[in-house]
Amino acid sequence: SQTIHQWPATLVQPVGSPLSLECTVEGTSNPNLYWYRQAAGRGLQLLFYSVGIGQISSEVPQNLSASRPQDRQFILSSKKLLLSDSGFYLCAWRLAGALGETQYFGPGTRLLVL
């Protein structure tokens, strides 16, 4: 069976500091990978998605970037955090090529920027 991991679970960072959040998937190959942010009282906002190693599509211009150095690893980064970067960050995966196939989410990372 497939498993998705995210770490850290919780992070408190000062404004202007760098960020690196990691997501890994086990039990599948060549998944599509997604990064979402969920702000309090709001829905999930898609930030980035990737259909393969080194292939990143950005949905929203912002202070963040993503990378996919390995098939089942997805990293969300920032060089300098802003207060507005606070939120709940979720990684998700789906089987590539399966039309309409749904996405499965990780446990999330709660980020607080002070």
Partner 1 sequence: QKEVEQDPGPLSVPEGAIVSLNCTYSNSAFQYFMWYRQYSRKGPELLMYTYSSGNKEDGRFTAQVDKSSKYISLFIRDSQPSDSATYLCAMNYGGATNKLIFGTGTLLAVQP
Side by side, the strands of the sheet bearing 65-70 are 3-7, 19-26, 73-78, 65-70
Backbone angles phi, psi at 85, to 5 degrees: -80, -10
Q: How far is the CB of 3 from partner 1 (least distance, A)?
A: 12
Q: Which is nearer to partner 1, 71 or 94 (CB)?
A: 94
Q: How far is the CB of 52 from partner 1 (least distance, A)?
A: 11
Q: Which is nearer to partner 1, 15 or 35 (CB)?
A: 35
Q: Which is nearer to partner 1, 67 or 96 (CB)?
A: 96
Backbone angles phi, psi at 84, to 5 degrees: -70, -5
Backbone angles phi, psi at 54, to 5 degrees: 75, 0
Q: Which is nearer to partner 1, 3 or 79 (CB)?
A: 3
Backbone angles phi, psi at 81, to 5 degrees: -70, 145
Contacts with partner 1, residue ranges (CB under 8 A): 6, 32, 41-44, 46, 49, 51, 57, 59, 88, 90, 94, 96-97, 99-108, 110
Q: How far is the CB of 80 from partner 1 (least distance, A)?
A: 27
Q: How far is the CB of 81 from partner 1 (least distance, A)?
A: 21
Instruction: Name the pairing type of β-strands 10-13 and 104-105.
Output: unpaired
